[in-house]
Amino acid sequence: MHPLAVELNEKIRAECPVLYELLSARGRELYFPKGILSQSAEAKEKAHRMNATIGEATEGDGPMALASVLAHVKDISPADAVRYAPASGRADLRQAWKQKQLAENPSLRGKQLSLPIVTHALTHGLALAGDLFVDPGDRVLIPDMLWDNYALNFETRLGGVVETFPTYDGQRFNVPALRAALLAGPAKSLLVLNFPNNPTGYMPTPAEVAGMRDAVVAAAEAGKKLVVICDDAYFGLVFSAEASHESPFGLLANLHPNVVSLKLDGATKELFVWGLRCGFLTIAPPAVNNPEPLFAALERKLMGAIRASISNCSSLSQAIVLAALRSPALPAERREKFEILRARAERVRAVVYREEYARHWDVYPFNAGYFMCIRVKGVAAEKLRIQLLEKYGVGVIAMGQSDIRVAFSCLELDQIEPLFELTARAIDELRG
């Protein structure tokens, strides 16, 4: 093992032995080299005469840049647009995102939290979490209404074993099933909680989130060591007053000596900038006496994983997101788009539960996010998808044998009723 990895491991083990135990073999091997990037960072601070360290071309006091490129980013400085960003992300953006997290999740205030690491959006954050914590054969527990990319990352890429439990008990999140699955599991498990949920568009109530916390505590008290990953990709898009408006991460952070929690979130959905691929990874360990050395060691490991895969995230994307966060107009702009999505969700609700459709489908609970799901009756979901696509030019997603996902986020209000009318018609045609 590289001496730098050994040094980081010793710091982690000294501050939080359980977190060290939960690290994967790869996680223990990770380190950030004292090579080009670290030497360049040191030179940036101290080389006041000349700096010949980093692989960028400069001209005068700034980067060498092409006018045909800069013409399209007039409000962003050349340095912010084209230079490399640090492996961990821009420090000012990381601080700004943490302040946003604290403002929107009051239960996080006063908790021991790492400074968010910038990721290439949520999928990259999942990959980094897997690099740190998933060994071949490790159980990754996920509610059964899940995004297919989890299996691709944790199973196909890393060799973990995805196990599921029933997501819903009627119209509520299935807390008893979660509790039973955690208690019945092996000594080490990863738990992935994705709310608002993709594909069903459900955000649990505060009582259900408290039930999740209690289930995790019960497993931890029974001696299980857990990594809980909160995939908060659709955070903030909650359309029901009864649902929780905070991430479950707030109740899970620093929860128990046997529990490490991670929050994955980002600008992609929250600021409607999907293609900028700007996300964040935040770690909440068990409460420790001296968290800063622990966070510093974990950051170096994550920086090593980033360095080994993508080197660093887009500087231009980070500059745009930071500028947006600093804009006084941002809250009103976000609220305007939120209201559009809420109106679409309410229109879906008004249509999909009509009595005339009860023989065609059941509706999974939904109150948030971009999506909702129906469980169709009497036909296969894939056959229905093809019928809608080929006969009516309507695109939906088939999931498993019976589920259809509808992204109301990309439907205008006047498209919603026709979509479900055509879905019911196509079901009748396939039955006939």
Domain range summary for the chain, segments of one domain joined by +: 3-48+75-326, 331-431
**250: which 2 tokens?**
């707030």
- H or E element that contains 423: helix 413-431
Q: Which tens digits make up the pLDDT trace of 105-138?
A: 999 999 999 999 999 999 999 999 999 999 999 9
349 touches 329 (CB < 8 A): no
pLDDT of residue 55: 86
Pick the CATH number of 331-431 from 3.10.20.30, 3.90.1150.10, 3.20.20.70, 3.40.50.11900: 3.90.1150.10
Q: DSSP secondary structure string, 340-386?
A: HHHHHHHHHHHHHT-GGGTTTEEE----BSSEEEEEESSS-HHHHHH
Pairing between β-strand 168-169 and β-strand 397-399 as defined by DSSP bridges: unpaired
Buried/exposed 393-406: b ≥16 CB within 10 Å, e otherwise:
ebebebbeebbbbb
pTM given for the model: 0.95
Maximum C-alpha span of the chain: 81
Q: What is the pLDDT of residue 374?
A: 98
Residues of the chain where predicted confidence (pLDDT) is lower than 70:
37
The pLDDT value recorded for residue 48 is 79
Inter-CA distances, 185 with 164, 189, 191, 314, 360, Å: 11, 7, 11, 39, 37
Do residues 321 and 280 lie in contact, with contact meaning Cβ atoms separated by under 8 Å? no
Q: Quick one: which of 249, 188, 248, 197 has its CA closest to 220?
A: 188
Report the alpha-carbon distance of residue 101 to residue 250 in Å, rounded.
10
Which CATH number is correct for 3-48+75-326, 3.90.1640.30, 2.60.40.10, 3.20.20.70, 3.40.640.10? 3.40.640.10
CA dist., res. 316 & res. 83, Å (int): 8
**Residue-level pLDDT at 170:** 93
DSSP secondary structure of 25-44: HHHHH----SSHHHHHHHHH
